[in-house]
Amino acid sequence: EAQVTQNPRYLITVTGKKLTVTCSQNMNHEYMSWYRQDPGLGLRQIYYSMNVEVTDKGDVPEGYKVSRKEKRNFPLILESPSPNQTSLYFCASRNRGTDTQYFGPGTRLTVL
């Protein structure tokens, strides 16, 4: 089944404790993105990647890192999480030449 998977789905952590949210897609898509969703603000792009080893900042990249060492994986790294990073995070992918984005199920992160 074609899908985007994220892990974990739920995470409660404390300020400053490094964490990684994994994202994997099995559709051989070139493009992958990370978004955060906050009440009243909607979805905002954090980082995106156009292919292996090619990443770029979105609208709200501060406090986040990403890597794209393999085509299928696009992990989101929070080196020192803070409470303002409490949010619902989505990973998405799409194929070059198409516009349909496939979203992961979301990761709800709470930073205390």
Partner 1 sequence: KNEVEQSPQNLTAQEGEFITINCSYSVGISALHWLQQHPGGGIVSLFMLSSGKKKHGRLIATINIQEKHSSLHITASHPRDSAVYICAVPYNTDKLIFGTGTRLQVFP
Residues contributing to the site for partner 1 (CB under 8 A): 31, 33, 35, 40-45, 48, 50, 58-59, 88, 90, 92, 94, 99-103, 105-106, 108
Give min distance, CB of 27 to partner 1, in A.
Answer: 13
85 phi/psi in degrees, rounded to 5: -95, 5
**C-alpha torsion angle, residues 7, 44, 103, 52 (rounded to 10):** -80
Give min distance, CB of 106 to partner 1, in A.
Answer: 5
Give min distance, CB of 44 to partner 1, in A.
Answer: 7
